[in-house]
């Protein structure tokens, strides 16, 4: 148990240090070199003009306050642990985003507080369906930083996708 606490402390410290370094780098750039995507008090989502233009996601997430929440990879399981949408990608991704929403709300936030999504697809050809569902949950004007990769398998063969998230919710 203590080693888990130490690991979590190291991860949080690394995130805070990374955010500080990135924040210092962004402060060094002139206002014309970045495009601010967020005016959240706890974080900023940015697409710097010095980086490739991104559509549907931000390139940077700067954490300035709040509580960082790491949400484990979510799959298509309902509250009872039953698989939702066997062989149906759209049903699975809908359930995944409902699980992510429930998790961020349990931490005292909303989907507007999500700063990072990592998506693991068995088949990236489902990306258009993924975006269609994802776009119902995220703030399209201020999208989270995102990564999507194709993997050979997930931890159970019936799952077609898994998505993990990082949120920054207001501190109490």
Determine the pLDDT at residue 107. Answer: 94
In this structure, the number of other CB atoms found within 10 A of the CB of residue 28 comes to: 8
**Residue 32 near residue 49 (C-beta atoms within 8 A):** yes
SS3 135: coil
Structural domains in the chain? Answer: 1-172 (3.30.1330.40)
Determine the pLDDT at residue 32. Answer: 37
> 40 falls in which pLDDT band (50, 70, 90)?
low
* pLDDT tens-digit readout, 114-149: 999 999 999 999 999 999 999 999 999 989 999 999
Task: Report, as an integer, the average pLDDT of 21-50.
Answer: 55
CA distance 11 to 126: 31
Q: In what order do the strands lie in the sheet with 60-63?
A: 34-36, 43-48, 60-63
Q: Cα 58–11–143 angle (5° rounding)?
A: 15
Q: How far is CA 127 from the centre of its chain?
A: 16
């Amino acid at each position: 148990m203590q080693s888990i606490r130490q690991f979590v402390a190291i991860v949080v410290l690394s995130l805070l240090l990374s955010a500080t370094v990135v924040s210092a780098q962004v402060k060094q750039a002139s206002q014309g070199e970045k495009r601010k995507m967020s005016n959240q008090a706890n974080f900023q989502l940015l697409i710097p003009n010095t980086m490739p233009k991104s559509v549907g996601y931000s390139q940077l997430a700067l954490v300035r306050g709040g509580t960082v929440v790491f949400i484990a990879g979510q799959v298509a399981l309902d509250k009872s642990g039953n698989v939702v949408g066997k062989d149906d990608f759209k049903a699975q991704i809908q359930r995944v985003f409902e699980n992510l929403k429930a998790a961020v709300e349990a931490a005292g936030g909303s989907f507007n507080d999500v700063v990072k999504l990592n998506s693991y697809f068995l088949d990236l050809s489902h990306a258009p369906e993924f975006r269609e569902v994802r776009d119902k949950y995220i703030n399209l004007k201020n999208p989270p930083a995102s990564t999507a990769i194709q993997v050979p398998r997930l931890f159970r063969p019936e799952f077609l996708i898994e998505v993990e998230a990082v949120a920054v919710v207001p501190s109490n």
